[in-house]
Amino acid sequence: MSVFLDEANQVCTQIRAIEESVGSGFPVAEGGAAAGSAPPIVSAVGWGELIIARETLVGYNAREIAHIENILPGESKLREHHRLSRTEQVDEAETTTERETEKDSQSTERYELHAETQETIQRDFSVNAGVNVSGKYGVTQVDASLDTAFAQSESNSRTNAIDTAREIVKKSVERTFERVRKLRRLALTEEIKELNRHELANIGNPPLSAISGMYLWVEKIQKIELRHYGTRMMIEFHVPEPAISLLEQASGAGRKRRLPPFDVGPSEVDGTNYLCLAQRYGALDVEPPPPQFAHVGFGWVSTSAEDLEQWAEDQFTDTINVPAGYTPEWARVAWSALRGKLENREFNFAFAVGGISEPPANKEHTVNTYNGVVLQLPTGTTWPQGVPVSGRVHGAWDGAMYVQITLTCRRTAEAYDKWRIATWASLRAGYEGLVRQLAQEEQASSFQDQLLVTASPEGPAEINRRIEREELQKWAIKSLRLVPQNLNAIVNVGERQEISPFHAEAEAPIVRFYENAFEWEHVNYFLYPYHWARRATWALRNGIERVDPRFQAFLQAGAARVIVPVTPGFEDKVMSFLDPLSEQDELGRILGPVREVAPQPGDSPFRDIWVELLTRHKPDMARGSGTLALVQGSDQAKINDDGNWRASDRDEDREIVIDGEVYRVAEVTGDRSFRPRPAVRRRER
């Protein structure tokens, strides 16, 4: 059973993955390495000058031509949009089934016995005896005489008369009337009249002249200030695809949804995935598959005989109806009878189910109680009129007997295919409904996009910069923690959610360390092109368009270099936390003792940050960096050998930052020398 459920869940997961990947339009990332107990991952740690670029909006200038509209004298242009959408679907199915079965069985039995017995016995018996004796011897005289008569007469008469008459009338009338009517009416009437009118007219009293209207692109003008905040310890991170969270969030809503093709066939629908398919395609009238096995039965009870001293005999015959779509495979027969109390003779029972007799010919069962005899019926046989069953019983029993016959029926392949086709049709109807719904939504959205004036859905530039910093902070903290951001100090109290002081106290040191030990508001980041991201996301990133060019660059970026300054006073704490030799966990690193392992200020991989900042904001302003040789009292500056740039005539009047002060190149005296002069505007420290 577990294997069966696993396969079903796997099928549903595959269907869900197809829909989500197509619907969101953003590729699914493959599983990476699991987070372990390794030390935090940073790209570089060192000291550098904290220079922050501040931008101030000056205004907008009209630049390139976006569109030109010409109207000649007497000409007018009118653009209107009208939409009418109607959908009506009516599905009606009616099924009528009538089944009538009538059975009439009559049996008449009569038994008569007349017996008469008469016996007469008569006997006569007579005895006569006499004795006379005379003698004299003294005075003696004897006279004896005996007369006996015996008569006997016996008469016996016995008459027995037995009349037995039994008449059985069995009549069974079965009538089934089934009427199923399914009516599905879907009437979608949508009438939207949207009139979008844009009229250009050059009509009036003459003389008229041609009109030429131009739509221009506007360019934002900003003032950039580089502010120096002194020397800081800095940590560098490499963040791939920094806007991944924003793209995943916006791809589903900002991109047109598209359903996967309906490539499911009737043969692919089964009992393991039909519910998942119904959910995916929005099918409503899906029914479960017919069970694989069905059981139907027949019961018979004999008529009891009053005479316990006689043999009894009875029989039955009937038909068991097989459910539609099933074929019988096995028959199980069980019976029980009561033997006559004054009889020791045999009990005999025989029966037949579906043309198979039990026991075989010329034999009968002699057991009066049996839990079941199993018969295998012919496979692949249909019984449109039912399976016949018959039985006969006779012998020394009192007539009280019951028999139960149970048929085990298997679902036919035709019935299963019929369910598959019906389910597939419901899935197809649901899918077509989703297609219509999406088409209507896209059509409504397209009309909204055709409006002449639309407000930008983006926020101001300050909001976009804050979003960028928060996203980069999130990924930088994950590089330090090596675990996903999944803090939870909320518990359920009844039906409401409340904070958990115990969990909050456990999380507090972690939150305070990451928020206080780093100056996230002064983070500097440099965005790299889209081709440093996954190749599967290139097309999506190139199609991103935003009003704010910096926010558009952030969304399109394939990677980012993030430099975060450490808050003064936390240098040793941060270095102890980043110690690769430490074997403590995150909380132990935060709360553990502080060791003086901070790098020296001379170890600076961040000396040229200001050059990168200028390059990011104004590429034509940055030339390079290095050191200069200055002689006191001289107005000449010489570029040392460590400089990565050469002076030219086009550098005249450029700004140059020397030891935090802003100068301008007054005159170029050679490829490695120039004459600086103080700028009118001095940089803020």
Tell me the longest C-alpha to C-alpha distance in the chain: 222
> Where does residue 584 rank: exposed (0-12), middle (13-18), buried (19+ CB within 10 A)?
middle
Is 327 contained in some domain?
Answer: yes
What are the structure tokens assigned to 84, written together? 């009418």
- Ranges in the chain, pLDDT < 70: 1-39, 43-44, 81-196, 251-257, 304-311, 339-346, 360-369, 396-399, 444-458, 595-626, 642-644, 659-660, 679-685
635 in a structural domain: yes
In one-letter notation, the amino acid at residue 54 is: R
Question: What would the two tokens of residue 12 be?
Answer: 């549903």
- Closest by CA to 320, choosing from 273, 253, 383, is 383
Asked whether residue 126 is domain-assigned, the answer is no
- Domain boundaries, position 666: 623-678
**In total, how many domains does the chain have?**
2
Asked if 151 and 48 touch (Cβ cutoff 8 Å), the reply is no
Residue 658 placed within a domain: yes
Q: Of 414, 433, 453, which residue constitutes the final position of a domain? A: 414
Residue 549 within any structural domain of the chain: no
Residue 665 domain-assigned (yes or no): yes
Q: Considering 414, 432, 462, which residue would you say is the last residue of a domain?
A: 414
Order across the sheet with 524-528: list the strands: 44-71, 211-240, 559-565, 524-528
pLDDT at 397: 66
Q: What is the CATH number of the domain that holds 408?
A: 2.60.120
- The DSSP result for 392-433, as a single string, is EEEESEEEEEEEEEEEEEEEPHHHHHHHHHHHHHHHHHHHHH
Q: Which of 372, 391, 414 is the last residue of a domain?
A: 414
The answer to whether residue 481 is domain-embedded is no
In whole angstroms, what is the distance from residue 598 CA to residue 282 CA?
A: 62
Query: What integer pLDDT is reported at residue 663 of this predicted model?
Result: 81
In angstroms, the Cα distances linking 336 to 345, 367, 368, 395, 546 are 17, 9, 6, 14, 87
Report helix, strand and coil shares of the chain as percent, to nearest 5.
25, 40, 35
- Tell me, yes or no, whether 655 lies in a domain: yes
The model carries a pTM of 0.47
